[in-house]
Amino acid sequence: MNILAVDTATGSCSVAFFKDRRLIAEEVYTAGKTHSRHLMSIIDHILGRCESTPADLDGIAVTRGPGTFTGLRIGLSTVKGLAAAIAKPVVGVSSLDALAWPLAWTRRPVVAMIDARRGEVYHARFSGEDGSEPSQKAMVDDPEEAIEKLPEGAILVGSGAVLYREVWARRRPDVCLAPETAHVIRAASVGMLAMDRFENRTADSVEVLAPEYIRKSDAQIHRASC
């Protein structure tokens, strides 16, 4: 089974290629430029390195949010267009799940955080035997609200965790940040999280797969206030 995985939920962009659950190639781009300028070139490069074409794919996984509104739209529209063109299934993966997944080995609770801008963070807590299942619904709060919801001894990961590291250090010395390299969403994690659904044939419908914004965009808020 050949699976392509894509992430554009935050300032980074990542693409990975799997063959039978084995990661063959991955690229992570963190320069912060508009994803629309380089996403397709990264996909083409990954497929070329793996001597494959879109027609060789059995499915495509993509982060559905939360994250930046523009980034999510670019990633989802690109993946949905590609999946429709080759008539292959697509699976949407939570960007918070993807952040937490590499830390599933720890017995400590993990809180994935993404900068939501406007002085807020998207966050979700992960716990359990393997740490891969969220133990609360994803939410958006300002740092002072989020800090009250942090479990004791939590490991914080993601752009929101890094942005407000001084707040956590001052108010909650019992929590700690994940290693520096863990704060970027990896397409490899997206692909692994989607793998069971591809194998069980429970993929999302291309027509109904939509971004998970958590809150309204600035444009929606502006329209509602008019």
Q: What is the DSSP string of 98-121?
A: HHHGGGTT-SS-EEEEEEEETTEE
pLDDT tens figures, 129-167: 555 566 678 999 999 999 999 999 999 999 999 999 999
Round to whole Å and give the CA distance between 206 and 87. Answer: 10
pLDDT band of residue 217 (cuts 50, 70, 90) is low
Q: Which of the two residues, 6 and 33, has the higher pLDDT score?
A: 6
- Give the pLDDT score at 199: 95
The answer to whether residues 127 and 100 touch, using CB atoms and an 8 Å cutoff, is: no
End-to-end CA distance of the chain: 50
Query: Hey, what are 45's tokens?
Result: 């490069």
Round to whole Å and give the CA distance between 92 and 59. Answer: 11
Q: Residue 205, Cα to own-chain centre: how many angstroms?
A: 19
Residue 225 has pLDDT above 90, yes or no: no
Asked whether this chain's domains 2-94+185-225 and 97-183 adopt the same fold, the reply is yes
The answer to whether residues 35 and 47 touch, using CB atoms and an 8 Å cutoff, is: no
Report CA-CA distances (Å) from 80 to 39, 87, 88, 190, 208: 14, 10, 10, 16, 10
pLDDT tens figures, 118-138: 999 999 999 855 555 666 789
pLDDT tens figures, 66-125: 999 999 999 999 999 999 999 999 999 999 999 999 999 898 999 999 999 999 999 999
- Give the pLDDT score at 189: 98
pLDDT band of residue 223 (cuts 50, 70, 90) is very low
Round to whole Å and give the CA distance between 226 and 223. Answer: 5
Sort strands 110-117 and 59-65 into parallel, antiparallel or unpaired: unpaired
Round to whole Å and give the CA distance between 99 and 113. Answer: 8
Query: Hey, what are 170's tokens?
Result: 């001052």
Round to whole Å and give the CA distance between 186 and 183. Answer: 9
- Give the pLDDT score at 216: 64
In this prediction, what percent of the chain has a pLDDT beyond 70? 91
Question: Among 194, 214, 213, which residue's Cα sits nearest to residue 203?
Answer: 194
Round to whole Å and give the CA distance between 186 and 201. Answer: 23
What would the mean pLDDT of 187-198 be, rounded to a whole number? 97
Of the candidate CATH numbers 3.30.420.40, 3.40.190.10, 3.40.30.10, 3.40.50.300, the domain formed by 97-183 belongs to 3.30.420.40
What sign does the dihedral 12-144-141-149 (CA atoms) show? positive
The yes or no reply on domain 2-94+185-225 and CATH 3.30.360.10 is no
Domain boundaries, the chain: 2-94+185-225, 97-183
Could you say which DSSP state residue 174 is in? T
Residue 52 has pLDDT above 60, yes or no: yes
Tell me the whole-structure pTM to 2 decimals: 0.91
- Give the pLDDT score at 224: 43
- Give the pLDDT score at 220: 45
To which H or E segment does residue 83 belong? helix 69-86
